[in-house]
Chain A
Amino acid sequence: MLVLKPHHGLFLITLLAGLLIAVSSSSWFILWMGLELNLMSFIPLLSSSENRYPAESALKYFLIQALGSSSLLMASTLSLFMSKAWTSIVLLSLLLKTGAAPFHFWLPPVMQGIDWFQCFILMTIQKIAPISMMSLILTNLSSLTLISSSILSATVGALGGLNQTLTRKILAYSSINHMGWMLAAISVNEQMWAIYFMAYSLITLSVVSIFSSKQIFHINQVLTTNIYPQTTKMMLFLSLLSLGGVPPLLGFFPKMMMIQEFMSSQLSLLWLSILLASALLTLFFYLRVANSSLMLSSLKTKYSLQTNLSNFILSSSLLNMSPALYPLLLLISY
């Protein structure tokens, strides 16, 4: 269950303030400051007095982000002396901060220790500032780094998730895989990135809200804790398919737009085909989670028949069905 303590409100506000400072900064120093503010307010959100796993995660997170921030700070002063190489260093430090592929190793263990609400923030909000900064420093040299990181993220996310049985790790690898698509999106244009990111956040929200309401941390729990009302089962199934990008659902459309951008700006088809193949692989491990929810007649323990499902959870999953409303837009436009 999502329990917000009073200090959470305070730190959420400073977290968002740090984010806003970072994305609207005009100098690298202010950007660094914003990112630090963001980091410093996320640490107290992570830690909890009940057990020590969140503290461990918070420590790991802090160390990695501090490394990223310090190299960012170094690169921004380096820009005075070396006019070319510093962009690569900035890019690498930002990739480290988002958890994109060659620097992704911290993300699954950190996610494993924290609660679903914090996982959600880590997967979505914490990525906005670094990614939007990456789109500012694209040069020929750095775009090569970006492309290789995108390809690596897609592959690592797809292959790494295959032998995971813990839902938080599966979502962490899915987030790494989606980073591959988002890095491809920023090398096309920023709007595309914003669209992809929003769709990804909404779908993740719908998956996380179901997992969080039932406290599901292992894929066996999907079968045994009995997400009792059938609608919830369907919603979990559809949200996961949507995360994998199966056509009529929300997750498909940003992918389709990405393919179209690849076609119209004549980017490499090899890159695209790696992204698509990795999307298929991720769909496979999402399906492993979803399948157990779809075996309609399953064992039910008596306590699991009581349901305390809020409407919010169901309505957030309905977001995945939103493409069904697109024809209405067509009607309005005619």
Chain B
Amino acid sequence: MLKYLFLGVLMIFAVSEWNVLQALVFVGSFLFIFSLGGGFHFNNLSLGLGVDWVSYILILLSFWIVALVVKSSQKISDTYNFEILFLFTCVALLVSLIMTFCCTDYLLFYICFESSLIPTLILILGWGYQPERVQAGIYMLFYTLFGSLPLLVSFLLMYSVNGSLTFNLAAACSSVGFVSFIWYFCTFFAFAVKLPMFTVHLWLPKAHVEAPVSGSMVLAGVLLKLGGYGMIRVSSMFLGVGREMSFGWLSLGLMGGSIVSVMCLRQTDMKALIAYSSVAHMGLVLCGLMLFSLVGVGGAVVVMVGHGLCSSCLFCLTNMVYERVGSRSMSVSKGLLSFMPSMSLWWFLLSAGNMAAPPTLNLLGEINLIMGVVSWSKSCFLGVACLSFFSAAYTLYMFSTSQHGKYFSSLFSCCSGQVREYLVLMLHWLPLNMVILNQVCYYMCS
């Protein structure tokens, strides 16, 4: 794993050249595709780093998303808006993400998990649009830090009890009682904030609305997945309490997902809508992770990857509209079909992806999640039904409001799409729809 890490670190020397760095990240993601050795176990082990199938797919996702972030933020390079600093921040983010996903030690995982916050904060504060970005940045930082300080204490407690913090070597806490419940809660709360779970999700829409396109894409594409990844890693430690408590997480995930989906239907800001839709999707992912079944975890990982590609692409589309119309409000940027007819196709394809239509990865993942949740308890039917119905409803609402209707007349003329933009959209869409052809997906979800 060290070779990919060094590739990331050495990219720092290329930050002064926009195109070179962009090419390097794409090459990195190409090279990384070949690194999956064997199945479910850790491979590529060296110096406390290693990948298994979950980390493999998430590292690949982060390489890919960062490459697309650089590609879609071309405007920063064109307007000389501190472009070197921007690339440096992207590279720092990439390195911290790779480190997070490939370390095999809880403490190192915690440190890297937190360290991705700083580049994200710099992205939001440095290149965001409104002055409210300060508030959004502070919200994000403090929600996450407040959640994760108990996590640090819990990891160090694990160390003093078990004598080891290596994945799979640290002994599980099998007892069920008040103390182990507190311990369990402290451990999972940080990831629930990062995921974000309904009730602690308030930082996410704020951060998305204020972030520049790069910040939103990375946040939706990879950073939310850190929460899910962390839950996968620590849930093996708390099987006893976890089984007792999974009803709470499942009901919160399903109910919260449904409520947030309804809230999506009354958003007028496109970015806020997509942000809330991420919260709804992550509610289902949370359910899958808390089932402790292979179907649930496999489905959750597939949805995480699918959602990463899909929502990142939707943010990218929103930004393309924003660059032309100058507003993200649905009442201003409507009737886009007249301005950008070819882009409208992409809006449709990605909306279809967001409502988990075939053949996207989201479909595969959601089928698995629904199977898992319903087999866990029949009474989950209602929540699952609401969730999937409303997720189709708000996506349709977003598509029809932005594409159809009478266009806003103050826009005189605009370019209906550059080749670079179509390329970015294509590169999001292709893996989203083609990865399902890979047999490994079914293997994960079998």
Interface residues of A (CB under 8 A from B): 230, 234, 237-238, 241, 246-249, 252, 256, 259-260, 263-264, 269, 272, 276, 279-280, 283-284, 287, 291, 294-297, 327, 330-331, 334
- Establish whether residues B153 and A276, one from each chain, have CB atoms under 8 Å apart when the complex forms: yes
Minimum C-beta distance from B410 to chain A (A)? 26
Interface residues of B (CB under 8 A from A): 47-48, 81-82, 85, 96, 107, 110-112, 114-115, 117-118, 122, 125-127, 134, 137-138, 141-142, 145-146, 149, 152-153, 156-157, 159-160
- Establish whether residues B47 and A334, one from each chain, have CB atoms under 8 Å apart when the complex forms: yes
Task: Give bound CA distance, A269 to B156, whole Å.
Answer: 12
Minimum C-beta distance from A249 to chain B (A)? 8
Main secondary structure of the interface of A (DSSP, over half): helix
Task: Give bound CA distance, A241 to B115, whole Å.
Answer: 11
Given contacts A259-B156, A296-B85, contact A247 B111 (CB under 8 A): yes
Since A246-B114, A247-B110, A263-B159 are in contact, a sample of 10 more A-B pairs with Cβ atoms closer than 8 Å, ordered by chain A residue number, is: A230-B85, A237-B122, A238-B118, A248-B96, A249-B118, A276-B149, A294-B125, A295-B126, A296-B81, A330-B48
Given contacts A247-B111, A259-B152, contact A234 B85 (CB under 8 A): yes
Task: Give bound CA distance, A269 to B145, whole Å.
Answer: 18
Ranked nearest first, the 8 interchain pairs of A and B with the lowest CB-CB distance are: A248-B115, A247-B114, A263-B160, A294-B125, A296-B126, A263-B156, A260-B156, A264-B160
Main secondary structure of the interface of B (DSSP, over half): helix
Given contacts A246-B145, A256-B152, contact A284 B111 (CB under 8 A): no
A284: contacting residue among B114, B134, B138, CB under 8 A: B138
- Establish whether residues A260 and B159, one from each chain, have CB atoms under 8 Å apart when the complex forms: yes
Number of A-B contacts (CB under 8 A): 78
- Establish whether residues A230 and B152, one from each chain, have CB atoms under 8 Å apart when the complex forms: no
Return 25 A-B CB contacts under 8 Å, by A number. Answer: A241-B118, A246-B117, A247-B111, A247-B115, A247-B117, A248-B112, A248-B115, A249-B118, A252-B111, A260-B160, A263-B153, A263-B156, A263-B160, A264-B160, A280-B145, A280-B149, A283-B142, A284-B138, A287-B141, A291-B138, A295-B125, A296-B82, A297-B81, A297-B82, A334-B47
- Establish whether residues A284 and B142, one from each chain, have CB atoms under 8 Å apart when the complex forms: yes
Looking across the interface, which residue of chain A has its beta carbon closest to that of B88?
A234
Looking across the interface, which residue of chain A has its beta carbon closest to that of B141?
A287
Looking across the interface, which residue of chain A has its beta carbon closest to that of B86?
A296
Given contacts A264-B160, A280-B146, A296-B85, contact A291 B137 (CB under 8 A): yes
- Establish whether residues A331 and B47, one from each chain, have CB atoms under 8 Å apart when the complex forms: yes
Looking across the interface, which residue of chain B has its beta carbon closest to that of A331?
B47
- Establish whether residues B153 and A248, one from each chain, have CB atoms under 8 Å apart when the complex forms: no
Which of chain A's residues have a CB closer than 8 A to the CB of B153? Answer: 259, 263, 269, 272, 276
Task: Give bound CA distance, A280 to B48, whole Å.
Answer: 30
- Establish whether residues A246 and B118, one from each chain, have CB atoms under 8 Å apart when the complex forms: yes
Which of chain B's residues have a CB closer than 8 A to the CB of A291? Answer: 125, 134, 137-138
Minimum C-beta distance from A230 to chain B (A)? 6
- Establish whether residues A330 and B47, one from each chain, have CB atoms under 8 Å apart when the complex forms: yes
Looking across the interface, which residue of chain B has its beta carbon closest to that of A231?
B85
B126: contacting residue among A241, A249, A294, CB under 8 A: A294
A280: contacting residue among B85, B107, B142, CB under 8 A: B142
Given contacts A246-B145, A280-B142, contact A294 B122 (CB under 8 A): yes
Which of chain A's residues have a CB closer than 8 A to the CB of B122? Answer: 234, 237, 294
Looking across the interface, which residue of chain B has its beta carbon closest to that of A272?
B153
Which of chain B's residues have a CB closer than 8 A to the CB of A279? Answer: 149
- Establish whether residues A263 and B82, one from each chain, have CB atoms under 8 Å apart when the complex forms: no
